Chains A and B, each alone.
Chain A
């Protein structure tokens, strides 16, 4: 405590107001005069050692600090780098949406094409086959009767007015080959729906007609499916209402028969 009190210098140690200029020189790390007390010189050496160069381990974190500096001083900057992933995310989401749409379109196209092919192969369930028959001129469903006729060129077209025998094997409808085109609706004869009107020319008795299924006819096949309910008077009910039918005794003329 003596050294800290002015006017009471501690023996052998710097103290008192008279040493303050020397202490200021030590703090400022200036060279002491040669006639300064040895204690002052010792203190100056101590402080010089305290402010000495770096010792091993004191610069160990230089790499980490430099890395932080590089990141902060990057010419790209933080905000553009932070925005770039957002742009990538946006473009990725757009691309994924486009891919989903394309995949959906491909699935729909494949399903439609497959349905059309299945319709032309006549393997669809009857309601769908009928729809395909109406829309894309695919063969009519065979279990409701194969409606066919043959035009002058020998091509067989769907003819709603002709019923195939239900007991026998149902011939699969075929389309003209070698013509290079699918039969369109324009080639399909329109059914004659009005019983009051005469059949179109060329469709008279040999034209397309609904073939009746006599319910109690001895010639009817036992395994034939039952067609519309019997009429109260015992006459066969035409399966195509409104279409002129021939009596069961007259044979149905199949124009496509060889």
Chain B
């Protein structure tokens, strides 16, 4: 579904990603871990289509299309969803209005008829349950005055509404207390199916207790230096990232 080949990305001349390779198949859950500043969020932003970054080498193939050729909105319409680390507040735009516009544009792209008002309301009600959101929240402006936890829940709620094929969740666990973490993780698990894939970007193993990955990758110095089964996450939790650093510096891993 997603093939990232030798991806090099720089921002203002500074190289951040130095040859990332990542393959994700339908039905899989991948976790990308790694210390701060190694390029995890850059990877998510490049996939989302942020124009701050220059892709200097390599390619991203998504559903056999060259992802980098697609506009930001077309990536979303093709089924990519990014759960942002810092969701933006948009005063004056209600979540209902936002979601209805997004959903209908995506449907139009897929040549489906727009949802009627009542279909939309039913859908919103159903999806709110996924992340235990109250209906009051939907009348409010997008993320405005939301707590950190509410913002993240709102991201997963949007994911539930838009039903992406590939979801990339960038530090969705940061700033969440245990209860919120459980709610968010449950949401993600409910949305999992054999036809979609999820990439979870995180610092901590904690989230992976709830969202169990098929593969764990370690991103270090702009490259994926190690991949392994879910137990790798436990090892990282136990030993920290230093041993990765040491092995990397000694040339044991590349």
On whether the two chains bind one another, the answer is no
Residues of chain A touching chain B, judged by Cβ–Cβ distance below 8 Å, are: none
Residues of chain B touching chain A, judged by Cβ–Cβ distance below 8 Å, are: none
